[in-house]
Amino acid sequence: MKLKLKIWRQLNANTPGKLVDYQLEGVEEDMSFLEMLDYLNEKLILSDERPVEFDHDCREGICGTCGLFINGRAHGPLAGTSTCQLHMRSFSDGDTIYIEPFRGGAFKVTRDLKIDRSAFDRIIMAGGFISTPVGDAPEANAIPITHDEAESAFDSAACIGCGACVATCKNGSAALFTSAKITHLAKLPQGKAEAQQRALGMIAQMDAEGFGHCSNTKACQVECPQEISVTNIDRMNWEFNKAKVLK
């Protein structure tokens, strides 16, 4: 497989970047997208060029570290797939592939395709936890909630914090990420006690980081690799309004 790559190269946060063209031959369709970049980097290193830097960790779709804007879409063309789970069989010989970093909100490009997503960590630190030590996982039947509620909380908890929602939002809004974290804990008995201060704290931090407003276009749920539902945002808004009224 022979590809033409247009990759965003940027030395650091303070210098402007630009798309640079690369021709890459010998790509196999069984390579993952990140392996294709590894393969490119090997060639760049051998020819004494600076390799393309990108975020990655588990490479099995559960850590949320990798995240590239591929051909105009977050995590590329497939639905419900993170960048590391995208394979070159989704592309054809002779294709041109645009590879850009996620942009929007508080995300800043630190180098090439790497971005600073620490704003998400600070949102979690503003309330995305339960203060009381609750010990190990309790015996499932001892938790006073139904199976459906537990599953629904888990659906929200499945968010891996990759930032595709922000990257794809026309407003650079982090509503889907923040709402998934708020909803996950609001649905569980352990999380209910702090639900109000959690909602207010995390939303205040989300705003302080400079993320935009949610317009309910629902593009985020379409591009989310974990298919987190926008109904989480409805729940966040409900929790916020409830907290404001009851405060």
Partner 1 sequence: MNTTLARKNLMALTGLFLCLFLVVHLVGNLQLLLPPEKAAVQFNLYSKFMTSNFFIKVISYLLYASIVLHAVYALVITVKNRQAACGGYAYDRRGTASPWYSRYMGILGTVILLFLVVHMKDFWFEYKFGSLPLDREGNKDLFSIVVESFGQLWYLGFYTVAFIALGYHLLHGVHSAFKTLGIYPRKLSNFLYYSGIGLTLILTVGFIVIPIFVFFKYHMP
Rg of the Cα trace of the chain?
Answer: 20
Distance CA 86, CA 79 (A): 10
Q: Could you tell me the smallest distance in angstroms from the CB atom of residue 33 to partner 1?
A: 16
Other beta carbons less than 10 A from residue 150's beta carbon: 14
Q: Could you tell me the smallest distance in angstroms from the CB atom of residue 5 to partner 1?
A: 12
Q: Could you tell me the smallest distance in angstroms from the CB atom of residue 182 to partner 1?
A: 11
Indicate which single residue of 1, 6, 9, 41 sits in contact with partner 1 (rule: CB under 8 A): 6
Measure the N-to-C terminal CA separation of the chain; round to a whole number of Å. Answer: 60
State which of positions 207-246 bind partner 1 (CB under 8 A): 207, 210-219, 222-223, 230-231, 233-242, 244
Q: Is the Cβ of residue 56 or residue 187 nearer to partner 1 in the bound state?
A: 187
Q: Could you tell me the smallest distance in angstroms from the CB atom of residue 233 to partner 1?
A: 7
Q: Does 69 bind partner 1 (CB under 8 A)?
A: yes
Indicate which single residue of 71, 90, 110, 197 sits in contact with partner 1 (rule: CB under 8 A): 71
Q: Could you tell me the smallest distance in angstroms from the CB atom of residue 94 to partner 1?
A: 17
Which of these segments, 38-46, 50-58, 163-171, 188-196, binds partner 1 (CB under 8 A)? 163-171
Q: Is the Cβ of residue 59 or residue 122 nearer to partner 1 in the bound state?
A: 122
- Interacting residues with partner 1 (CB under 8 A): 6, 8, 19, 69, 71-74, 98, 100, 103-105, 107, 168-173, 203-204, 206-207, 210-219, 222-223, 230-231, 233-242, 244
